Structure 1
Amino acid sequence: MPYLFGFHVDHSVVIAGYTESMLTAATRADLPKRDEVPSWVDATTSQSLAMLRNVGATAATIIGYGPADTVTPIVDILTPHFDQAGITVRDALRVTDGRYYSYLCDDPACCPVDGVPFDAVGSVVAVNAIVAGQMALPDRAALVASIAPTTGAARDAVTTATQRAHERRDTLFAAGRRAAVIRAGKKALRAAVARYADDRVLTDDEVAWLSVLLLDYKVRDAAWRTNDANSSDLALWTDITRRVDPALAAPPAVLLAVIAWRTGLGALASVAIDRALDADPNDPLAHLIDHALRAGIPPAALDSQATPTTSAENPPSTDQK
């Protein structure tokens, strides 16, 4: 699970879905507070069942991470919901202090009362995952921090550069109208993709210029179409999401979410969408991707949308945020 989510899971409930013998989807949620359990169970069950149906899963494993007094009531409530929905619960587990305990297996040779110890770091599974290029950060907070906004002098430099970029964009618009802005955006995108493919990064002025141009939905559509599932594009949008003026983070964070989603990094996609919605709670594309992630819809479902625009009739103002 740490290598599926990209971080070591704790104080959480994980639902893993299976189609025949293949693991096809997994979702994670923080354990609720005691007074939030009823509403949490309703929401989690609905979301998890939708995800399982969308991937054609017929079975699931429920895993609770945390102390017994917190996990057991949740697992006891969740398990019947899945059974009633026609999803076979293969096992329900609790993970506590490096051991797992089964709620469904009472064979002491298989699942002893004092739990089964396991090594989440040095096991064969972990080694194989690392060799395959997967990583597991210490916790979800570390994953959030990996795309958090820069601070200090680095932030100040981009803020100043963003002011210059707005002035430059206004001048360009006055001279060539919107068509000139779109051409400049596509040119900046091509240059950025080439830069990161060569293991180099953009300057502060280049980050600011691209972030201002991405506010036009036509430029963001162009970025969507050229967003490939490769490490250099992932590095590109990760870097820009971190360095961009936080008020302009929605477009690059959404693009980071899309490429993370397409490369199987669902947890990174989720925290990137959180960044996007923090910057712009009304961003339609961020809401679209957020819904798709929560429902377990495969990323190929959006490939048919050549131009996932926010609104062709009313494009967002390039002055917003």
Structure 2
Amino acid sequence: MSLSDLRVASPAHLVAVVPYLLGFHPRDSLVVVGRREHALMFAARRDLPPADTPFAEVAEAAQHIAAVVARQAIDAVILFGYTDERSSGAALVAAVGDALLDLGIPVREQLRVADDRFWCYLCTDEGCCPPAGRPFDAEAAEIRQTAGFSVFDSREALVASVAPVESEGMRVATAVADRRLEEMAARTEAGAGPLLGEIRRAGARAVGVALARYRDGGTLDDDEAAWLSVLLAHDSVGEYALNRADAAGWQVALWSDLLRRARPELAAMPAVLLAFTAWRTGQGALAAVAVDRALDADPSLGIAHLLDDVLTDGIPPSALDRPRAA
């Protein structure tokens, strides 16, 4: 489901749809949703600061958030504070609202959400916003049916969804793939050039098989997944795969699957490919989790740091479609 495909008819619908924009149910969070011509185009989340955070720090955070939002192609925003009973989240929500208004970006709603109820931060009419809050369970059921899928219960659950899965079959298959690469090196003409060419050709074939298989709704067996994970550790193959990464849900499924199955020291490039395809499809939270996996596997990987900067700065996927200067 694309953000731009969703239409909401009430504040309750807005609250109900947020988890589907993020991929999980937020807690103790500020969520910013951007609209353009009534379509939902952008969603971002950050932790709420502790209640005793100095105002200057809250204001600084708000300025950064507003600057990120301003880079998006939107004409209005809705702010949400996901809180518990101990904290209202009002300080950061208000500061971000003020910072956005200073940049000329209208704030249509400022809503607080706790458990299964919501309130408007600025409304004092108990007929509109009763002290006990307003339920949105009916709207949540409607959005869930429209989306056709469930979302993770928390960000921690989202992280767990791309955690390594130990498999004896993959362990054995990866050892076989290592030997296969060694044999390729042994029979290749002396010199680095011919071997790199062989690796790139093998990588192109393996990437092509994977793309075709997942596009058709299939998966890779252990031998195929292990061989691809070993080849992706080589720069030319990683670059080849990245050049073919696109905004397609089946590509997200492919690289998510390979990331979970790959041996930990081979996880960096599958994680980068997952991060890139998730970002392209508007799944920013999944992209951020994948970048973390990439940097855990290889802290020096330049493309992972670049994607981290892209996500931190809130650069939208549409930036890839903008014409470049000659």
Amino acid at match of 1:177: L
Paired residue type of 2:172: A
Percent identical residues: 42
Structure 2 segments unaligned to the other structure (5+ residues): 1-17
Of 159, 170, 179, which aligns to 1:164? 179
| Higher mean displacement: 166-175 or 117-126 | 166-175
**Matching of residue 6 in structure 1 with residue 48 in structure 2:** no
In the TM superposition, 1:1-321 aligns within 5 A as: 1-34=18-51, 41=58, 44-70=61-87, 71-119=89-137, 122-130=140-148, 134-151=149-166, 153=168, 156-157=171-172, 160-161=175-176, 163-165=178-180, 167-168=182-183, 170-171=185-186, 176-302=194-320
Deviations 1:184-233 (A, max 9, x none): 11111112222333443323332232222212322222212222333432
Give me the whole-angstrom Cα distance separating, in 2, the residues matched to 1:62 and 1:204. Answer: 45
Cα distance change of structure 1 residues 259 and 105 upon mapping to structure 2, 3 Å threshold: same
CA distance in 2, matches of 1:303, 1:210: 29
Amino acid at match of 1:65: Y
Structure 1: segments with no counterpart, 5+ residues: 307-321
What CA distance in whole angstroms lies between the structure 1 residues aligned with 2:321 and 2:19?
28
Q: Distance in 1 between matches of 2:292 and 2:56?
A: 21
- C-alpha displacement of 1:140: 1.4
Deviations 1:35-76 (A, max 9, x none): 666686356434422332222334322211112542233334
Q: Is the 8 A contact 1:47 1:294 kept in 2?
A: no
SS at match of 1:189: helix
Structure 1 stretch displaced more, 286-295 or 177-186: 286-295
TM-score (norm 2): 0.81
* Residues 237-289 of structure 1, C-alpha deviations (whole Å, 9 max, x = no match): 11111111111211111111222222222222221111111111222211222
Q: Is contact 1:172-1:180 (8 Å) kept?
A: no
d(CA) in 2 for partners of 1:230 and 1:44? 33
Mark the CA change 1:169 to 1:219 in structure 2 (over 3 Å): closer, same or farther. same
**CA RMSD in angstroms, aligned pairs only:** 2.9
- Distance in 2, matches of 1:171 and 1:155, equals 24
Whole-Å separation in 2 of the counterparts to 1:122 and 1:21: 20
**Do the aligned residues in 2 keep the contact of 1:25 with 1:296 (CA within 8 Å)?**
no
Q: How far apart are the structure 1 equivalents of 2:205 and 2:136?
A: 51
Alignment partner of 1:123: what SS? helix
Give, in whole Å, the separation in 1 of the partners of 2:242 and 2:323: 10
For residues 171 and 39 of structure 1, what CA distance do their matches in structure 2 show? 62
TM-score, scaled relative to structure 1: 0.82
Post-superposition offset of 1:20: 4.5
Mapped contact 1:172–1:181 kept (Cα < 8 A): no
